[in-house]
Amino acid sequence: MYIAGEITSGSNRESIAIINPATEEVLGEVPSGKADDINNAVNAGLTAYQEWRFTPASERAEALHQVAAKIRARHDEFVKLLTLEEGKPIPESDEELWWTEETFDYYAELGRHDRGLVVPPGEPGQFNFTLKEPWGVVGCIVPWNYPLLLLAWKVAPALAAGNTVVVKPSELTPLTTLKLATIACDQLPEGVFNVVTGYGREAGEPLVTHPDVRMVAFTGSLATGQRIAKLTAHEMKKLHLELGGKDAMVIAPDVDLDVSIRSLAYASLLNTGQVCTSTERVYVHESLFPQFTEELADFVSTLRLGDGLDKNTDIGPMIRDQFREKVEQHISEAVSNGAHLVIGGERPDEFERGFFFRPTILINVNHEMRIMREETFGPVIPLMPYRDFDEAIRLVNDNPYGLGASLMSNDARLVKRFFEGVEAGTIWINDPLTDNFAGPFGGMKMSGLGRELGQEGFDQFRQVKHVHWDIQGGIKDYWYPY
């Protein structure tokens, strides 16, 4: 673990083995943190906060630029380690590292931008302004599918705002986080950036319930987000929750088939479908449905499974067997209820080890099936036809989640109807799963609270104070006695 600028083995001798999902080989071990370790990390963060919050914004900006520069200097090392512990192919790990580096640079500059606003006074002689202040110690709980990118989306704005952080990485992918701590964050003042490795119950819960943690930033499942909300309700902590998704894509009748097919394959199969914004429901206009299904199956069948370190690999392994088993259950239930398997739906027999699963396409699905309602988080593409655009929008909205949604169309009238009518935090038109540093990311409905990226993402890590100053002073005519 990394607490107060030092590597530590923690308060007990228990450890967690970190496994390569492509080979099932053990990459290393990390301590299994407990409440005592969380307490030590939070105390370190609280001590550091007293000075870090008053550090000039320009100095905090320079510190974040140094973090970015140090990651960039060891870029290839991070890419390899990320692929080893998470499984995604090298090009996807490379992209994640680029986003991580640039996120620290982006918030370094945004942190210089403002501290608050001067607002019009109610009376002459008054001065009114707002101050945007940090919360204090922020608990950042980061998932395994993008362990560095989603860390940066939390840590960079938190630090730029003057908070200190305690990071609890996933127990499946902590190695890159620890590498970042010791190589890139070592120049930050002691206690500003802390990492405690461990399981959710043993380390995550003590973090979110610690009385000196005033804000919790979490990315993960709806169930865990709901538990965090219950555990923290009595303390009225600030919660930033990016939860599950069941993102839809609509294929309009005017599309270029080849462009749409390749777009959909990327949106559904990136990181083996293990993305919160993966396209997990597809609605194709009925006039295109047969041809679209056939050509999509042909294209997906050409994609190559393999170890992420192999330059020929398009799709890597899933992270662990229990996640693969969930995908199999969704597919099996759908088929037993009338869905038709076009391709895939099985574990490839060419790999003796590793958590691989063939990309899968399903048709004859409906909204009664779990595979069209619950997050599958795997390489599965279920397709449904629709008759008219009103039906397409209704089908997209017929889900408790509202993280993102995509439309493939060049018809401006359909595009406008789509982004106005669909209930989702991000709408992609002809370019799915593309983020923008300045564009806020987050969900509607059951997909969470708050936003990441952009000014909105920065403001999540600041609380607003209003200052009312009567410069003239004196007795007011509305004071007692009446």
* Known catalytic residue at 242: yes
CB atoms within 10 A of CB 202: 18
The overall average pLDDT reported for the chain is 97
Residues near 40 by beta carbon (within 8 Å), at least 6 away in sequence: 3, 4, 11
Over 90: is that where the pLDDT of 13 sits?
Answer: no
Torsion of CA 403, 409, 411, 416, to 10 degrees: 0
Split at pLDDT 50, 70, 90, the class of 56 is: very high
How confident is the model over 295-332, as pLDDT tens digits? 999 999 999 999 999 999 999 999 999 999 999 999 99
* DSSP-based three-state secondary structure for 247: strand
Spatial contact of 422 and 409, defined as CB atoms under 8 Å apart: no
As a whole-number percent, the residues of the chain with pLDDT over 90 amount to 99
- Region 276-299: mean pLDDT is 98
- Region 393-413: mean pLDDT is 98
Q: What is the DSSP letter of 305?
A: B
- Region 14-27: mean pLDDT is 98
Over 90: is that where the pLDDT of 23 sits?
Answer: yes
Residues near 327 by beta carbon (within 8 Å), at least 6 away in sequence: 273, 318, 357, 360, 376, 377, 378, 379, 380
pTM of the model: 0.97
Q: What radius of gyration, in Å, describes the C-alpha atoms of the chain?
A: 24
Which is catalytic among the residues 86, 96, 171, 242?
A: 242
CA–CA distance, 79 with 93 (Å, rounded to integer)? 5
Q: What is the DSSP letter of 369?
A: S
How confident is the model over 106-116, as pLDDT tens digits? 999 999 999 99
Over 90: is that where the pLDDT of 12 sits?
Answer: no
CA–CA distance, 69 with 124 (Å, rounded to integer)? 49
Q: Which two tokens stand for residue 335?
A: 């088929």
- Verify cis geometry, omega within 30 degrees of 0, for the bond prior to 91: no
- Region 227-237: mean pLDDT is 98
- Region 414-425: mean pLDDT is 98
Pairing of strands 193-195, 164-168: parallel
Walk me through the domains of the chain, giving residue ranges and CATH numbers. Answer: 2-243+447-467 (3.40.605.10), 247-429 (3.40.309.10)
Phi first, then psi, for residue 236 (nearest 5°) are 55, 45
Nearest to 30 by CA among 9, 12, 6, 11: 9
Nearest to 151 by CA among 168, 171, 137: 168
pLDDT at residue number 176: 98
Which is catalytic among the residues 276, 280, 375, 452?
A: 276
Tokens 């993402």 sit on residue: 457
Split at pLDDT 50, 70, 90, the class of 167 is: very high
Half-sphere exposure of residue 147: CA atoms within 13 angstroms, side-chain side: 30
* Known catalytic residue at 140: no
Over 90: is that where the pLDDT of 11 sits?
Answer: no
Q: What is the DSSP letter of 441?
A: B
- Region 38-65: mean pLDDT is 98
Angle, helix 75-86 to helix 57-73, in steps of 10 degrees: 70
Nearest to 12 by CA among 40, 36, 29: 36
Spatial contact of 106 and 437, defined as CB atoms under 8 Å apart: yes
How confident is the model over 336-363, as pLDDT tens digits? 999 999 999 999 999 999 999 999 999 9
Half-sphere exposure of residue 139: CA atoms within 13 angstroms, side-chain side: 31
Pairing of strands 279-285, 247-251: parallel
